[in-house]
């Protein structure tokens, strides 16, 4: 049963374009009628009649005031605005009635869109019946016109059968806090990332700081000068005194307030998660690459002291451990869906009971039997950066089994990582010499072996795969003197497993060629959706 008609409210009429004028005329006629009736029914005492007329006028004005306060006048104005929107855009059908000698003609409206208006508190609900035909697409996308005409902002849009309901919030402009309201220029507002907030609270407001890697993520930080960008701050009217002090990833930021843990503890490190993982993997030399397998895949390549700009869909960023005198840079590429494809197999498709079982299923078959899965559930990340691409499964036959499907899902993780690696090699003009891996999915031996086979390089997994946390510990220990330098930290790195490529070059080229075809299918969907 359709739930929307319950919420329909008042229908917008074809003659509501003059609703305010009609309401004023009706009010004036009501006052006049009451006045005439009162004079006719009362004695001929002039003072008494004047008093009654005054009383009627006051009562009518009070009624008008009540309607204004209760929002009735707002409703009238909004209904009029919606009617004029439909009429001005000619979203209705007519038929001629009569022609005049002058060439003009009268028209009768045969179809007028079914729009229903309802307001509750600060929310406006507009329910639209969607017809089949030339007005279908227009009525399905009324958000912008309604926001402008009703001076509100869309918060929700529901679709049910032939009905669409828009929910808007009114009074947004009055409620919105501007930069002048909080007086940021006077230092009454502080800005920062999550690490800034943590340091601020741990020190009870004594330290307002962040590190280079997190500052770079604000898009306000100049990664060359290692300072807040003056031009951007001026353009966006952002006072510099509201921004945190920016320090190296490994340094003494301050001490925790004694009230937090009972005694003071040194805060000695801060870094973005992927930069921390790069440091935890001891990728200190240019050309060294790590891949963190989580819900997505996050690949970083150390590019040394010179920033490298990519024409292949990669991000140029700062690496952890950078100092003002000697900054270190990295290339970063993000894969949206990695471990999430395994979660999809488990939770939505219910093909597996747990992530660990994917290895057993995948190894029961020699290959995917030509099946390729492109898990573009929310678009494709690096190096494609296409938000409109959608998940694609190609190569299905009558002989496709669950094992083939699961294996194809695992292989898709390795294929996506390989796409980013090739983009890194091309951008940095550096040939990959081993891939360091970490994260939960790196424990899957089948995936790691296939990653090595498809890249043609060794895949190196350390004994500690939680390298993000390890990198944070290294940064803090380096600042406090627990470790002397990077060389001493590097000696702490321990190998767990190394996977070497066994696949022939011809087989690798064939698989990668078919993968590209599968990706093109996902991208074709995006192109078709845009038209």
CATH topology identical between 179-269 and 278-340+365-466+494-530:
yes
Query: φ, ψ for residue 248 (rounded to 5)?
Result: -60, 160
pTM to 2 decimals?
Answer: 0.66
pLDDT band at 69 (very low <50, low <70, confident <90, very high): low
3 state DSSP class of 487: helix
Instruction: Give the start-to-end residue ranges of the domains of the chain.
Output: 4-173, 179-269, 278-340+365-466+494-530
| Interatomic CA distance for residues 165 and 142, integer angstroms | 10
Instruction: Tokens for 419, please give them.
Output: 């796409």
The confidence score (pLDDT) of residue 342 equals 96
* Integer-rounded Cα radius of gyration of the chain: 33
Structure tokens at 156: 């929700």
Q: pLDDT over 70 for what percent of the chain?
A: 87
For the domain spanning 179-269, the CATH number is 3.30.420.40
Decide: 260 and 205 in contact? Cβ < 8 Å: no
Residue 88, number of CB atoms within 10 A of its CB:
10
CA-wise closest residue to 370 among 406, 397, 402, 351: 397
Which tokens in the block code for residue 404? 């083939």
Q: Is the pLDDT of residue 2 over 50?
A: no
528, pLDDT greater than 90: no
Mean pLDDT of the chain: 86
Q: What is the DSSP letter of 510?
A: H
121: left (phi over 0), alpha (psi -120 to 50) or beta: left
- Residues 254-283: what's their mean pLDDT? 94
What was the pLDDT predicted at 92? 84
Residue 275 three-state SS = helix
| Residue 293 DSSP SS3 | strand
Q: Convert the pLDDT of each residue in 10-35 to its tens digit.
A: 888 888 888 778 777 777 777 777 66
Round to whole Å and give the CA distance between 8 and 114: 10
Q: What is the pLDDT of residues 494-521, one digit of tens each?
A: 999 999 999 999 999 999 999 999 999 9
Which residue has better confidence, 72 or 424? 424
- Kindly tell me if the per-residue pLDDT of 67 is higher than 70: no
pLDDT for residue 400: 95
pLDDT of residue 237: 86
**Counting Cβ atoms within 10 Å, is residue 329 exposed (0-12), middle (13-18) or buried (19+)?**
buried
Which residues neighbour 311 within 8 Å (Cβ) at sequence distance 6 or greater? 427
Asked if 250 contacts 478 with a C-beta cutoff of 8 angstroms, the reply is: yes
pLDDT at 531: 54
Mean pLDDT calculated for residue range 379-385: 92
Specify the pLDDT at position 530. 55
- Check if the beta carbon of residue 522 is closer than 8 Å to that of residue 384: no
Alpha-helical regions (H) of 394-504? 402-428, 445-455, 467-480, 486-490
The pLDDT assigned to 102 comes to 53
Q: Where are the alpha helices (DSSP H) in 176-306?
A: 179-182, 194-202, 212-216, 230-235, 258-261, 273-280
Cα dihedral 25→27→29→33 (10° resolution): 180
Comparison of pLDDT for 58 and 214, the residue scoring more:
214
- Asked whether 382 and 417 are in contact (CB, 8 A), the reply is no
Residue 105 has pLDDT above 70, yes or no: no
User: CA 236 to CA 241: how far, in whole Å?
Assistant: 14
Strand partners, 317: 330
Torsion angle of C-alpha atoms 124, 129, 130, 134, degrees rounded to 10: -100
Tokens 């307030």 correspond to: 257
Q: Residue with structure tokens 């279908």?
A: 136
Residue 45: pLDDT over 70: no
Count of CA atoms in the C-beta half-sphere (13 A) of 427: 28
Q: To which residue do tokens 């921390």 refer? A: 276
pLDDT attached to residue 181: 57
Q: Compute the distance between CA of residue 245 and CA of residue 215 in angstroms, rounded to an integer.
A: 9
Omega before residue 496 within 30° of 0, cis: no
Asked if residues 522 and 390 have their Cβ atoms less than 8 Å apart, the reply is: yes
Taking 90 as the threshold, does the pLDDT of residue 111 lie above it? Answer: no
What CATH number should be reported for the domain whose range is 278-340+365-466+494-530?
3.30.420.40
Q: Say which residues have a Cβ less than 8 Å from residue 33's Cβ, sequence separation at least 6.
A: none
End-to-end C-alpha distance for the chain, whole angstroms: 34
Q: How confident is the model at residue 1 (pLDDT cuts 50, 70, 90)?
A: very low
Which residue do the tokens 């009628």 mark? 33
- What is the CB-side half-sphere exposure of residue 505 using CA atoms within 13 A? 0
């Amino acid at each position: 049963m359709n739930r929307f008609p319950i919420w329909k409210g008042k229908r917008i009429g074809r003659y509501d374009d003059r609703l305010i004028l009609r309401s004023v005329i009706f009010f004036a006629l009501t006052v006049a009628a009451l006045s005439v009736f009162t004079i006719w029914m009362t004695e001929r005492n002039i003072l008494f009649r004047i008093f009654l007329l005054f009383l009627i006028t006051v009562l009518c004005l009070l009624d008008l005031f009540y309607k204004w306060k209760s929002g009735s006048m707002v409703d009238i104005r909004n209904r009029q605005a919606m009617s004029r929107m439909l009429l001005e855009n000619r979203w209705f059908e007519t038929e001629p009635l009569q022609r005049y000698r002058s060439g003009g003609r009268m028209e009768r409206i045969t179809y007028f869109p079914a729009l229903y208006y309802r307001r509750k508190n600060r929310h406006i609900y507009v329910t639209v019946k969607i017809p089949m035909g030339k007005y279908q697409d227009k009525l399905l996308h009324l958000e912008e016109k309604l926001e402008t005409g009703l001076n509100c902002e869309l918060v929700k849009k529901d679709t049910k059968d032939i009905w669409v309901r828009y929910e808007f919030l009114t009074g947004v402009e009055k409620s919105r806090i501007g930069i002048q309201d909080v007086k940021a220029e006077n230092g009454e507002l502080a800005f920062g990332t999550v690490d800034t907030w943590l340091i601020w609270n741990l020190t009870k407001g004594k330290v307002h700081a962040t590190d280079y890697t997190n500052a770079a993520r604000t898009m306000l930080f100049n990664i060359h000068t290692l300072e807040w960008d003056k031009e951007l701050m001026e353009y966006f009217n952002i006072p510099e005194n509201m921004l945190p002090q920016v320090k190296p990833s490994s340094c003494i930021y301050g001490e925790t307030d004694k009230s937090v843990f009972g005694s003071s503890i040194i805060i000695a490190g801060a870094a973005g998660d992927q930069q921390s993982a790069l440091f935890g993997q001891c990728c200190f030399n240019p050309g060294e690459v790590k891949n963190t397998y989580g819900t997505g895949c996050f690949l970083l390549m150390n590019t040394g002291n010179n920033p490298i700009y990519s024409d292949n869909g990669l991000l140029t960023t700062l690496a952890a451990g950078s100092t003002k005198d000697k900054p270190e840079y990295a290339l970063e590429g993000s894969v949206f869906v990695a471990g999430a494809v395994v979660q999809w197999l488990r939770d939505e498709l219910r093909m597996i009971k747990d992530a660990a079982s994917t290895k057993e299923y995948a190894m029961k078959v020699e290959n995917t039997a030509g099946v390729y899965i492109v898990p573009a559930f929310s678009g494709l990340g690096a190096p494609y950066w296409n938000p409109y691409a959608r998940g694609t499964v190609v190569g299905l036959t009558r002989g496709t089994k669950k094992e083939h499907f699961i294996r194809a899902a695992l292989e898709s993780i390795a294929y996506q990582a390989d796409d980013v690696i090739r983009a890194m090699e091309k951008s940095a003009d550096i040939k990959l010499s081993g891939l360091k891996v970490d994260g939960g999915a790196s424990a899957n031996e089948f995936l790691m072996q296939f990653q090595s086979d498809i890249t043609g390089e060794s895949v190196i997994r350390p004994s500690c795969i939680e390298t993000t946390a390890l990198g944070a510990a290294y940064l803090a220990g380096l600042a406090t003197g627990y470790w002397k330098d990077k060389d001493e930290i590097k000696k702490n790195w321990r190998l767990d497993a190394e996977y070497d490529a066994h696949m022939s070059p011809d087989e690798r080229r064939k698989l990668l060629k078919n993968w590209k075809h599968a990706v093109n299918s996902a991208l074709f969907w995006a192109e078709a959706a845009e038209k």
